[in-house]
Chains A and B, each alone.
Chain A
Amino acid sequence: MRPFFSILALLAFVMTLRPAHAATPDEAERLYRAYGDAVYQVKVIDITSEKKNALGTGFQITRDGLLATNYHVVSEALHNPSHDRLVYVSNKGVTGALTIEDVDVIHDLAIVKMQKPGKQWLRLGTSRLPKGTALYSIGNPNDLGFTIVPGTFNGLSYDSFTKNIHFSGSINPGMSGGPALQRNGRVAGINVETAGNGIGFLVPVEHLKTLLAHDSKMPPDYDFTAHADDHLQQQLLASQNSNIGELLSDKHWESMPFGPVRVPGHINKALKCWGDRNTSTDRLDAYFSICMTQDRLFLYEGFYTGSVLYRYDYYIPKKNVSLLQFYSFYQNQFATPEADYQNAKQGDVTNFACNSSFIWHAGFRWKVSFCIRQYKLYPKIFDMHLYMALIGAGRKGFVVTLMAQGVSQENALALARRFIEEIKPRKEKTASLPKKHGTGGKG
């Protein structure tokens, strides 16, 4: 159902909570007693059946009853207000309706307003903390009741475009949107995601401060839900501008030899790269190298965006395979590229539109196809795919795949162009760039 709920629904029962080294049980008890009243359970209620269909946590951040929670907790109610509504439940069982005030889809945050403000609210602190600082995450895992989980702050994750706090503590389904407190009771982050085995992620509280400031600029009676598509589109545009912009502004992409050419290697820390030999058949040698971002931006149910992926496949047939046989295999590989298009469903995006051609580049002829599809609710946003197949090189096949989800027209074109231009003849010496380790260039 919700991304992080379902993934770990099972894990929640398997995992036991282990207090982190720095924390003492007394500390958690004191914090919960002092601040627990500001934390609420957020329920998504199906209007037709009046049954809850998702759960999360939220916490009051202002005197007038604004709650902070995760975007993915409220997304269904935001996109389908006639189908789902939101309510809060306090730890004493007081309930009331919630209205959506503002969301930050990029950092998975939402601000909702309580029907009747509670008496207690939490102060927002900072995420600029020394490594090892004790943090206490509060939430309602699996509807079991409110829980406080001790853990430690372990800095910001660096291997993705969205930098979240790496929290060593058990965040479980249902705790999404809950606060992670410092000893002084100030919020350092918001529970958002778990990687299992006591590895959790928190949204740095600074993003919540930004969102709160943005919300305060809006007119008091502004109907956010009615204009959500515009806001989301703007946020997506800004986010891809910063992410793709970060890639493009780097004038020196790592270049690595692969197959008959030099290709972009590990060009940014937000990407992870690996490569291997494909052993599905012994009739030809197949090598691949792939780099992709770890970001997977949740828009609404079944619709994700934000991935950047590039991949090279290098094929050399064995002697007992004829050239025509090899090309029928090669054509088949080119027709079914190894990239994920499952990020969107019918209704979310249009079909791909493609432009195919031949280019002469890096000393070879290539058959190239550039494909885009438009997001129906956010018409300035596209998924872009670029495919290149080397031709005329005899018993050698080389396919380049580049995929960028959720990008603007300008960035789609600029990234594709830069990428093609970074494919260079193998002889050209790029001695100024030392090869970084772990990029897996073979061939």
Chain B
Amino acid sequence: MKLILEVRNHEDDTRHYSFSDFPVRIGRAFNNDVIVSDPFVSPHHLCIDREGDAYTVVDTGSENGFSINGEPKSSAKTELRSGDKLLLGETGIFVYTPDHPVADTLPLRREHQLFGWIAVTRNVWTSFLVALILTFEWAWLTIFTPDGEGLALTSTTATAAGIIIFWATVWSVAGRLTRRHKANFQSHVALASLCMIVSRVAWYVGSYINFLTSDNWLSQAVTYGFNSVLLGFLLYGSLTLASKMPHKRKVAVAALLSLGLTASAFLFNTLSTHKFNQQPVYSASLEPYLDKLAPTQTVGAFMKDNNSLFAADTFVQVAKSHKAAQSKAPVIPFQRSKHK
């Protein structure tokens, strides 16, 4: 019967050997049956032999010894069972008989056809160009500076291009490291460009929602929700291009990261409203079109809503600190509750 040795070096590179003649000698020297290029392995490290139906392993005078399934072994002969893991130096050797069971076959997961689309060079640079044109168009339509917008247009477009290239570069370097020589730079460019196109369009929609709803909770929720989904999609796509993570883990990582970032942005905004601010913060978004969709109130109804602003709990959140907090005096002499 054959014996199969699966040799894994410290980088998890795997090689399989199959033996029917014994003994099998293992070591760093070139006259071994299995040559292990590991500096912590001795020239003649181990010897595997067959005794009847059983296989045994013995240390042949190694410097660093070895272990079986994590248990250090002395030079005495030890019997092997199929599936045992020998560790010598930084090299692992799994011992299998041919009838050793293997894991179930995993279904081959096909990536979404989008990943095929963004691998095509023509699509990549088209989407990149569209993203830049949309950015330029947005800047050209909306940016107003007192002395003309030439510089602002160039810098906005250049910034958009820079962001896309930077994102693609970071991920393709990461991909090169984890997937070895699969940088997918162009696909990353296309993915980032598509996300930028979507966010530009969404920006118009979002600013109209802000305008028409006066920045109420609904428009806040839409903004946070949309950004979180878009970021999640971008992260999922980038992970797909740059790693071999299983589907479920990619979804989990992308969702966690985007939700985490959105939550921290929300938290930061919420906390900053609790800080003292001399300026009033109010809905100031104005848009030139669709103003007829704005739900108008009568002056009376507006003033009635204003009246409810004076409710006691409106100011609770920032009313805690007292003027003594900023004076050097340790004692607060004001006892207003007792007298009137």
Contacts and interface: CB of A to CB of B under 8 A. Distances in A.
A325 B141 contact: yes
A124 interface: no
Majority-rule SS of B interface residues: loop
Contact of A347 (B286, B296, B321, B335): B321
A374 B292 contact: no
A342 B292 contact: no
Given A324-B141, A365-B294, A365-B296, A80 B327 contact: yes
Contacts of B328: 48, 83
A347 B323 contact: yes
Nearest to A227: B339
A368 interface: yes
Contacts of B321: 346-347, 376
A199 interface: no
Given A357-B302, A359-B299, A365-B291, A331 B333 contact: no
A369 interface: yes
B294 A358 contact: yes
A342 B278 CA distance: 7
A346 B335 CA distance: 21
The interface centre, meaning the residue of A326, A373, A377 with most chain B CB atoms within 10 A of its CB, is A373
Contacts of A330: 286
A280 interface: yes
Nearest to A354: B282
Interface stretch (A163-171, A177-185, A237-245, A416-424): A416-424
Interface in A57-105: 79-83
A367 B283 contact: yes
B203 to A, nearest CB: 12
A420 B300 CA distance: 10
B215 interface: yes
Interface string A324-361: 11111111001100000110111110111111111111
Contacts of B302: 355, 357, 359, 368, 370
Contact of B291 (A350, A361, A392): A392
A357 B309 CA distance: 13
B327 A359 contact: no
Contact of B287 (A80, A228, A327, A356): A327
Nearest to A81: B333
A369 to B, nearest CB: 4
Interface residues of B, number: 61
A342 B279 CA distance: 9
Contacts of A228: 334
Interface in A217-241: 225-230
Nearest to B274: A351
Nearest to A383: B280
B297 A355 contact: no
Interface string B233-247: 000000000000000
A216 interface: no
Interface stretch (B79-87, B108-116, B311-319): B311-319
Contacts of B149: 325
Contacts of A365: 291-292, 294, 296
B339 to A, nearest CB: 5
B284 A370 contact: no
Given A229-B334, A322-B141, A341-B280, A346 B294 contact: no
Contacts of B269: none
Contact of B334 (A226, A283, A387): A226
A370 B292 CA distance: 21
A385 interface: yes
A210 interface: no
Contacts of A327: 142, 286-288
A78 to B, nearest CB: 10
A281 B146 contact: yes
B298 interface: yes
Given A230-B340, A347-B325, A376-B319, A356 B294 contact: no
A382 B306 CA distance: 13
Given A352-B280, A355-B309, A417-B303, A376 B287 contact: no
Interface string A275-308: 0000011010000000000000000100000000
A323 interface: yes
Given A82-B333, A392-B292, A413 B283 contact: no
Given A354-B281, A356-B214, 10 more contacts: A283-B144, A300-B323, A327-B142, A347-B325, A350-B318, A357-B214, A365-B292, A367-B294, A392-B292, A409-B310
Interface of B: 141-144, 146-149, 214-215, 273, 276-288, 291-292, 294-299, 302-303, 305-310, 314-315, 317-319, 321-323, 325-331, 333-336, 339-340
23 contacts: A80-B327, A80-B329, A228-B334, A281-B147, A324-B141, A324-B142, A325-B141, A325-B142, A327-B286, A328-B143, A328-B144, A342-B278, A347-B323, A351-B273, A351-B276, A352-B280, A354-B282, A354-B309, A358-B294, A359-B296, A373-B280, A373-B315, A376-B323
